[in-house]
Amino acid sequence: MQILELTTTECIEILTRLKFGRLGCSRSNQPYIVPFNFAYHERHLYSVATLGQKIEWMRTNPLVCVEADEIVDHVHWTSVVVQGRYEECMDTPGGGAENDLAYTLLQQQATWWEPASVKRAHPGAVEQVTPTYYRIHIDRVTGRSAKPDVIEAAALRGPATTSRLKSWVKSLLPRVRPSLELDYWLLEPDKREMRSRR
């Protein structure tokens, strides 16, 4: 597998496309991570929640991180990590514009209010329906992506390509030291067994 570093521009493009990630915060040296929906706009990730542990902790310690990813399989994935600061969008004169912007950005997504406004299923939960709009100011963003190397790519394409790969490797054998006996491992398992009996 090849791991590639993403540029800042590539990371921003991915954050613009993705709408779901994991938000990490901490308080008193205790980390806390939760899934959340977001919308990217001008170096900020906008989201909404109801008052609870996440909001309380971010009010106490505004330094947070976000991870968002696209995973196809173990050799095709992209991951972006944001380090930033929690900023609450105040519903006050002058602060209402940020609330309106957050609402406008988020409502473009289906079920954008989840999980913030979903009724809690456990007994004793206090229903809190007042939304708290907030944004994460992006201080730093990094990312990586994976893609298969030559051998993995051949294996993923199937038997015909694998045969061509074996032929290519066999053509290289005369150039490598004979003591490596790489050709032994290129044999079919039953031929390998017969050769090992000699």
Termini Cα distance of the chain: 36
The predicted pLDDT at position 121 comes to 47
Quote the pTM value.
0.68
Q: What is the mean pLDDT of residues 134-144?
A: 97
Indicate whether 143 and 155 sit together in one domain.
no
The predicted pLDDT at position 104 comes to 76
Q: What is the mean pLDDT of residues 114-120?
A: 52
Indicate whether 77 and 91 sit together in one domain.
yes
Instruction: Name the CA radius of gyration of the chain, rounded.
Output: 26
Domain housing 155:
150-197
Phi, psi for 176 (deg, rounded to 5): -100, 165
Give how far Cα 121 sits from Cα of 105, 110, 118, 125, 126, Å.
28, 22, 9, 8, 10
* 145-173: pLDDT as tens digits: 999 887 777 666 666 555 666 666 666 66
* In the chain, % of residues over pLDDT 90: 47
Indicate whether 123 and 158 sit together in one domain.
no
- Final residue in a domain of this structure, among 108, 124, 147: 147
Indicate whether 92 and 161 sit together in one domain.
no
Q: Are the C-beta atoms of 47 and 99 separated by less than 8 Å?
A: no
Q: Comparing C-alpha atoms, which of 16, 5, 28 is closest to residue 138?
A: 16
Indicate whether 111 and 25 sit together in one domain.
yes
Average pLDDT, the chain: 79
* 17-41: pLDDT as tens digits: 999 999 999 999 999 999 999 999 9
